[in-house]
């Protein structure tokens, strides 16, 4: 017997389509909450699907001053009156972008969902795209009275203008600090060989940078900073969770719960995101702790890092 439109699980169908398309795609319920984000959308937003699942799209992603307009556009899309709209969003690291979305309402009356696919991403031209890894090479003075003064600088990303950095202190102009970075490799003891460290950075919207200092003979150090973007940090977290899950033999559901526990979500939020009860969440947490040899959620964080 053929299924009627009323019998088709349109949410499941849309979720399948969203996860298989190459375009960044999200599925929203009729209240505007995120049901699913495919992997491409995760990479674009710099957030995992489990982190976003169950959250209100507008409240979670729209800039505060744009939320009212974004909610109106979302309501129009859910009514089926528009097929394309622009949606401002905050990416991980507080960068902003404008997404042009193709929107399609699916499902029957009272159970509509909205399938939204990104067809264009516009970012301010004065910002670096930190979705991946951006590399900056520069030479600094190592003289005690002038440490960190930038002599030369170039970017591996040609469109980025870095000329204004010459003459400035690297820790202030690049990493947005008032003093040298705590783990600056140019200050590391142990001789003048190559040194590498991870430092907290404020360069545009990159959360941190991998900085390498190479020796020089003229009172300078050749520096290379690789700024790691949100999509990379999300990927690293995903890989670490996968490693823990495989080592402990966790089930698929336990892996989902582990991911959300590490994100600091409450039992209620986890239950909503995974469509299970709080008691079930606690049951899975107990299994996870036992399999990973941890005593508490705090101990899970210790294992993760």
Q: 140 - beta bridge partners?
A: 150, 221
pLDDT of 160:
59
Q: Which domains, ranges and CATH numbers included, belong to the chain?
A: 10-122 (3.30.450.20), 133-228 (3.30.450.20), 233-304 (1.10.10.10)
By C-alpha distance, which of 232, 192, 199 is closest to 213?
Answer: 192
Which contacts qualify for 216-219: CB closer than 8 Å, 24 or more apart? 216/139, 219/141, 219/142, 219/143
Predicted confidence band at 6 (pLDDT cuts at 50, 70, 90)? Answer: very low
By C-alpha distance, which of 128, 115, 13, 44 is closest to 74?
Answer: 115
Q: Which residue has the higher pLDDT, 67 or 94?
A: 67
Q: What is the largest CA-CA distance in the chain?
A: 83
Residue 281, pLDDT > 90, answer yes
Residue 108, pLDDT > 70, answer no
At 141-192, the pLDDT tens digits run 988 889 999 998 887 654 556 778 899 999 988 888 889 988 899 988 866 6
**Residues above pLDDT 70, as percent of the chain:** 80
Residue 195, pLDDT > 70, answer yes
DSSP secondary structure code for residue 9 in this structure: -
Residue 101, pLDDT > 80, answer yes
Predicted confidence band at 4 (pLDDT cuts at 50, 70, 90)? Answer: very low
Which parts of 208-271 are beta strand (E)? Answer: 208-214, 220-228
- Is there a contact between 247 and 285 (Cβ–Cβ < 8 Å)? no
pLDDT of 3:
43
Q: E strand or H helix at 97, and its extent?
A: strand 96-106
At 291-303, the pLDDT tens digits run 998 888 888 877 7
pLDDT of 90:
85
Q: Which two tokens stand for residue 212?
A: 């390498």
CB atoms within 10 A of CB 55: 17
Q: What's the rounded Cα separation, in Å, for the pair 103 and 117?
A: 7
Contacts of 268 (CB under 8 A, 6+ apart): 278
Residue 15, pLDDT > 60, answer no
Tell me the whole-structure pTM to 2 decimals: 0.47
pLDDT of 285:
93
- Is there a contact between 261 and 241 (Cβ–Cβ < 8 Å)? no
At 244-258, the pLDDT tens digits run 889 899 998 998 898
Residue 109, pLDDT > 80, answer no
Q: What's the rounded Cα separation, in Å, for the pair 272 and 99?
A: 27
Burial track 138-171 (b if 16+ CB lie within 10 A, e otherwise): bbbbbeeeebbbbeebebeeeebebeebeeebbb
């Amino acid at each position: 017997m053929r299924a009627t439109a009323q019998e088709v699980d349109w949410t499941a169908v849309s979720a399948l389509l969203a996860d298989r398309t190459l375009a960044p795609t999200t599925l929203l319920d009729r209240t505007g909450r995120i049901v699913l984000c495919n992997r491409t959308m995760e990479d674009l937003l710099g957030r995992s699907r489990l982190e976003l699942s169950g959250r209100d799209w507008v409240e979670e992603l729209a800039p505060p001053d744009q939320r009212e307009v974004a909610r109106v556009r979302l309501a129009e899309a859910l009514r089926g009156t528009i097929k394309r709209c622009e949606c401002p969003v905050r990416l991980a690291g507080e960068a902003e972008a404008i997404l042009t979305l193709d929107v399609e309402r699916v499902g029957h009356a009272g159970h509509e969902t909205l399938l939204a696919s990104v067809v264009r991403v516009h970012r301010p031209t004065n910002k670096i795209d930190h979705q991946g890894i951006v590399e900056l090479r520069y030479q600094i003075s190592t003289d005690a009275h002038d440490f960190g003064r930038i002599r030369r600088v170039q970017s591996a990303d040609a469109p980025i203008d870095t000329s204004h950095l010459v003459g400035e202190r690297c820790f202030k102009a690049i990493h947005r600090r008032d003093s040298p970075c705590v783990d600056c490799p140019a200050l590391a003891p142990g001789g003048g060989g190559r040194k590498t460290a991870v430092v907290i950075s404020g360069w545009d919207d990159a959360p941190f940078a991998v900085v390498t200092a190479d020796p020089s003979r003229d009172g300078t150090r050749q520096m290379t900073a690789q700024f790691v973007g949100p999509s990379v940090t999300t990927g690293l977290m995903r890989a670490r969770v996968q490693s823990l899950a495989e080592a402990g033999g966790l089930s698929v559901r336990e892996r989902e719960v582990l991911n959300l526990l590490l994100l600091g979500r409450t039992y209620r939020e986890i239950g909503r995101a995974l469509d299970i009860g709080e008691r079930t969440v606690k049951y899975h947490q107990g299994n996870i702790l036992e399999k990973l040899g941890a005593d508490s959620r705090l101990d899970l964080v210790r294992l993760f890092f």
